[in-house]
Amino acid sequence: MPLPVPLLDDRRADDLVAELLARIPAHTPEWTHPAVGDPGRTLIELFAWLGDTLLYRANQVPERQRRVFLNLLGIGLKPARPARGLVALRLPDDGRETLALAARATLARPVPFETLQEVHVAPVAGEVYLKQRVGADTHPELADTLAQLGQLYGGRSLDAYQTQALFADGAVPAGVDIVADSVDASLWIALLAPKPQGGEVLAALRDRCAAQLERRPLNVGLVPALTVPDDQQPVGERERIASTWEVSVADGANPAATDYQTLDLAREAGADGTDGLRRAGIVRLAMPGRELIGVGSAARGIDARSGVDDEPPRLDDPDRQQRLVAWLRLKAAPGVQRLRIAWAGLHAVQIEQLVTSRGLVVAQTSGNPGERITLPLRNVDAGSLQIEVAEPGQGYDAWQRVDDLALLSHRADVARDARAYELDAEAGELRLGDGMRGRLPAAGSRVRLVTARAGGGRAGNLPPGVLKDISATTIAADGGSGQVVSNLKVLQPLATAGGEDAETVDAAQARIPALLRHRDRAVTADDYATLARETPGMDVGRVEVLPRFAPRQRAFGIPGVVSVMVLPGTVDGAVGQAPNPRADRPLIEAVHAWLEPRRPLATELNVIGCEYVPIAVAVAVGLRDGAPPDATLAAVRQAIRRLLWPLAPGGFDGGGWPLGRPVSDRELEVEAARVPGIATVAGVNLFTGGPGVPGGWVLAPRDASGQQVAIQPWQLPELMQVVVDTGNTVPTRLGSDATGGGNGTRVAVPVIVDLC
């Protein structure tokens, strides 16, 4: 139990009155009737009330001691944290010239925000599209159409897709996987010219828009669905997600076709604000010359080439076709398993709930050691604060912020003359040196705040669509400040988040026990699993702890070794298709960096991904009368996928297929029989091997207990293909194509699902 906090004196006013009345016979025996209302009794009650007040203050001494203890530990109150977010900008409808806007543009209502980057707003709109994969599994009604298209394209395997508009209504919190959900592992942004006004010729307007993009940086906002919070620094070195940006251009050899030009990032620090697609941010692309911006003629119409293979997504709206200036393409590198994007947009900037102050003389020093100077700001962003001090008869000199003046230097001469100060960010207070630890400025020295940003709080956590007005300053041709513009359109697709009020004294006191205890240590298997799931910024879908397992040797029983297997989560929690979720290098590095300082000293820690065993399943079923064939067979396929899925809601208990459990045909047969509309299950065949393996798919061995595919304790099954037929004959042979696979003979073909 915690130590009880003693009361120095627990008497109250009534206790004091009773005690004073008890003393009357000894001190004033002639006062025989101290009744209520007696003047003397009134004086007693008055002094008792005053005494009660004094005792209350005396009992606050332990509270004072706790606050002094906070100061001794160097624990100040945490300042308010600013909310952050993204907004996209657009010119007014009649805008035809690019505006170059400087950073620190302000969005004043309802809470002040400032932009963090400059942005060139060109007279083009950006619409985001995906070549979204469709097939007979997800759209059974397309089975005949896809078969006919396969014959049309010479029997080649098809990657049928529909052109899916994304983020038209704002961000998608669960994200869209541009690798698994598309046929080309790409995200497309159409650059559209504005609608003609006042007799403008559309072709000339497109050319003018392309010229406005020429050799200017283009801001693209990206929000990966799995992000690292902005205030959480990456733990250890993390690998970026490899990707390339391209802009479309007409193929010189074939004007109908579209070719692509790789884009570089702008030549400036922080051009990739997403840190390699690991957090929400801005990518600043260096656009090429006018001759490398455009599309082939097939992209502005509908013919046999439009949208096929490597062509851009086919647009079926004639208005958009004709306004199309060019396409931007974000393409994931080969080997990237998943890349979920929650939002993407053009002409985007990051915003932060801070206000900038500049050029303020805030105080004149008194010359006293350790002088404290109060700024006209609270909740100061320490990184933005610049302070200068001008001593009498001298100019302003820059002073540096330090965490602790006592730790300036081990050399006394250096520490005495160091122009340094401490900052209490929450209170907006500076503490200067005393002549021994930090320079003591002479009396009458002027202290100037060169620049500082301050603000924050929960009031800045705004829902999408609230921020609508912006006041920005253009960048003049000479690089200086130009005119102020306030007629830009503002799109706020996501809620601003991260704002937090300044810490209270009670909350700071509550942190003392946590600072004096060390609980975040990984000792038991549950400790490892719990801590791994708490890895900052990572969506960890499943954790398995394998004590005494050496992954390199695939051996158990090795003393002092712990292996932690992690799988990435799916934001929407849906059951997917092969390839199964795999831990990429950034996830493994992040979990390892999080667990490494928390493991026992003599323990060897390994963080690993899962080793999958590819399998395929064939099922023959009989349908009940009236059961819709396509939908029922699709439901059987989905039921088998769900059972073998490694994450929730897969497996028998909703936690994913158990690690190391063999796959049995009997269990799959039971799962298929549970599907509504199934009357009988004629049998199940399990296959091992698969594409790329000599012999392809081969039947798993069968004995008296049925078929089983052995799974080692560090493995999980990966369902590559599932075939469900009606009748009494179970397929005994499968083709080599696996779900989600692809090779050079495949062809991407656009379809319109609603019409097909």
Segment 300-305 long-range contacts (CB within 8 Å, at least 24 positions apart): 300/324, 303/256, 305/256, 305/257
Diameter of the chain by CA atoms? 124
Please report which residue ranges of 166-307 form alpha helices under DSSP H. Answer: 202-213
Q: What are the phi and psi torsion angles at 523 (to 5°)? A: -120, -55
Higher pLDDT among residues 151 and 15, named by residue: 15
The pLDDT of residue 336 is above 60: yes
Amino acid in the structure at residue 315: L
pTM for the complete prediction? Answer: 0.63
Report the distance separating Cα 533 and Cα 556, nearest Å: 24
What's the pLDDT tens digit per position in 555-583? 999 999 999 999 988 756 788 887 888 88
The pLDDT of residue 502 is above 80: yes
Rounded to an integer, what is the distance from CA 115 to the centroid of its chain? 19
Q: What is the arrangement of strands in the sheet containing 258-265, beginning at the earlier edge strand?
A: 176-177, 340-346, 217-224, 281-286, 258-265, 243-250, 324-332, 186-192, 125-133, 158-166, 747-750
Report the distance separating Cα 636 and Cα 642, nearest Å: 10
Other C-beta atoms lying within 10 Å of the C-beta of residue 556: 14
Identify the sign of the CA torsion 17, 20, 25, 29.
Answer: negative
What is residue 749's predicted lDDT score, i.e. its pLDDT? 73
Cα distances (Å, whole numbers) of residue 571 to 116, 338, 498, 568, 700: 29, 12, 20, 10, 34
Report the distance separating Cα 568 and Cα 454, nearest Å: 37
What is residue 739's predicted lDDT score, i.e. its pLDDT? 38
Higher pLDDT among residues 308 and 345, named by residue: 345
What's the pLDDT tens digit per position in 167-213? 998 898 888 999 988 989 999 999 999 999 888 899 999 999 999 99
Report the distance separating Cα 360 and Cα 363, nearest Å: 9
What is residue 232's predicted lDDT score, i.e. its pLDDT? 30
Confidence of residue 227 (pLDDT cuts 50, 70, 90): very low
**Residues facing 702 on adjacent strands:** 707
Mean pLDDT, all residues of the chain: 85
Report the distance separating Cα 635 and Cα 650, nearest Å: 15
What is residue 236's predicted lDDT score, i.e. its pLDDT? 39
Confidence of residue 267 (pLDDT cuts 50, 70, 90): confident
Write the CB contacts of 352 (distance below 8 Å, at least 6 apart in sequence). 82, 83, 84, 113, 114, 116, 453
Higher pLDDT among residues 301 and 135, named by residue: 301
Confidence of residue 74 (pLDDT cuts 50, 70, 90): low
What's the pLDDT tens digit per position in 421-463? 999 898 899 999 998 899 999 999 999 999 999 999 999 999 9
What is residue 745's predicted lDDT score, i.e. its pLDDT? 52
Write the CB contacts of 528 (distance below 8 Å, at least 6 apart in sequence). 522, 543, 545, 562, 564, 595
Report the distance separating Cα 459 and Cα 441, nearest Å: 39
What is residue 572's predicted lDDT score, i.e. its pLDDT? 63
- Average pLDDT for residues 152-157, to the nearest whole number? 57
- Average pLDDT for residues 302-319, to the nearest whole number? 86
Cβ distance 343 to 187 under 8 Å? Answer: no
Residue 573, CB half-sphere, CA atoms under 13 Å: how many? 4
**Residues facing 609 on adjacent strands:** none
